[in-house]
Amino acid sequence: MSTDPDTDESSPPEPSETVSERSASEVDTDSVTFSREGIRIGFLTCAPIAIGVAGYGVAFGVLARQSGLSVAEAALMSAVVLAGASQIVAVELWADPIPIATVVFATFAINLRYSLMGAALEPWFRHLTSKQVYGSLFFMVDENWALTMREFKSGGSLGAFLLGSGIVLWLFWVASTILGATVGGAIGEPEQYGFDFILAAVFVALAVELWDGSSTLLPWLVALGTAIAAANVFPGQWYILIGGIAAALVEVIRHDG
């Protein structure tokens, strides 16, 4: 905040300047605390969203069983990874032998956004211990990150909000994965019930959520065209990664060019 040199430096701020108008680094970050109350509020705030996320967990569980994973393996992946889109891509790429390089690169590209999301929390998390920070970041996904940013930007100081909201998402995600994997294992021929369309349906739903207007169309078309061309040239599932890289390059060129 700049100060007029002709006025007393101790004079109060102008009436029109409110706390909400100042930057987060000036107002909110120094008061951040980590407490059980923050965990509780985060848990309850995100519970309704977790119920919706569970639908994707069921779909993932069914897909995982169709790809050959056991119920325990599917549940372990959800418990450790906690990243729906990359998990779905991983099971789609699953084969015998497992294309390790393809799976690693594809999931890395999909989850790269988390580095930026975590960096956005740094002004508030700098006041927490490493144990508190990394414990919270393990449970970070798109939904509770958005809620946490809203909490902090509105002047909140609940440093444990991300952890609490992440715990409820984790519980619903793992439980719904187990449910989906159990149901998927009981289905003899998925095609009889239309379950073979689950993957396409899930990605259509994800695409609708990610649609951000006409600016989204170009990278999507580039990814689609490149993936179709690559599928006719390269063996296996490399076309997924190649299409994603092509779309990312288009975005980099468009925004930096």
Q: What is the pTM assigned to this prediction?
A: 0.70
6 pLDDT band, cuts 50/70/90, is: very low
pLDDT of residue 130: 94
What is the arithmetic mean of pLDDT over 108-131? Answer: 88
Give per-residue pLDDT as tens, 93-104.
Answer: 887 777 788 888
Give per-residue pLDDT as tens, 157-187.
Answer: 899 999 999 999 999 999 999 999 998 777 6
The one-letter amino acid at 134: Y
33: which strand partners? Answer: 158
Neighbours of 92 (CB within 10 A): 17
Share of the chain above pLDDT 70, in %: 78
Q: Has residue 77 got a pLDDT over 90?
A: yes
What is the arithmetic mean of pLDDT over 34-40? Answer: 95
pLDDT of residue 67: 86
**Domain extent listing, the chain:** 29-210, 212-257
22 or 64: which carries more pLDDT confidence? 64
What is the arithmetic mean of pLDDT over 2-25? Answer: 43
Radius of gyration (C-alpha) of the chain in whole angstroms: 22
The answer for residues whose C-beta is within 8 angstroms of residue 165's C-beta and 6 or more apart is 42, 43, 45, 46, 139, 143, 144, 147, 148
Q: Has residue 80 got a pLDDT over 50?
A: yes
Q: How far apart are CA 211 and CA 207, in angstroms?
A: 6
Are the CB atoms for 144 and 166 separated by under 8 Å?
yes
Any idea how long the chain is? 257
Q: What is the token pair recorded at 123?
A: 């002004």
Q: How far apart are CA 28 and CA 42, in angstroms?
A: 18
What is the arithmetic mean of pLDDT over 19-24? Answer: 42
Q: Has residue 25 got a pLDDT over 60?
A: no
Most confident range, picked from 2-16, 22-36, 147-161: 147-161
The answer for residues whose C-beta is within 8 angstroms of residue 224's C-beta and 6 or more apart is 243
Reference 70, options 177, 175, 169; nearest CA is: 177
Q: Cα torsion at 19, 23, 26, 32 (round to 10°)?
A: 80
Are the CB atoms for 219 and 251 separated by under 8 Å?
yes
Q: How far apart are CA 112 and CA 117, in angstroms?
A: 9
What is the arithmetic mean of pLDDT over 203-228? Answer: 78
